[in-house]
Amino acid sequence: TEIDDVGRLHAMEQSILNYARQPDCGVEGDCRFIGMGVNPCGGPYYYLIYSTSAVDSVELVGMVEEYNEFNDELNARYGWAGPCVVPNPPVLDCVEGTCVDVGYDH
């Protein structure tokens, strides 16, 4: 059912967020980002910031690809539509040992 599929999608997202939750870094080069979700209008719903020194990038990318493929499948299966807003890619820096987006305005 759609409710079950949404629950599975949410569980996959939480697993990814828990895995990448500590974007600890030593230098800016440790910081990366990856698009999360598949917006029916194109692009990701948001960007997940992570650190190559804190997670296995290959494992994380695999988890995100599986999540995005399932999200795309659900978009088609249920005719989901989303806000046609494409987020700007983050501008990353290592600030006080944490990867952060320094390119946004408050």
Question: Is 105 a member of any domain?
Answer: no
Q: What mean pLDDT is predicted for residues 72-80?
A: 96
Q: What mean pLDDT is predicted for residues 67-95?
A: 94
Q: Can you name the residues that pair with 91 across neighbouring β-strands?
A: none
Q: What mean pLDDT is predicted for residues 72-78?
A: 97
Domain around 84: 2-100
How much is the CA Rg of the chain, to the nearest whole Å?
Answer: 15
Question: Is 106 a member of any domain?
Answer: no
- Give me the residue label for tokens 């990814």: 16
Question: Is 34 a member of any domain?
Answer: yes
pLDDT band at 105 (very low <50, low <70, confident <90, very high): low
Q: Please state the domain count of the chain.
A: 1
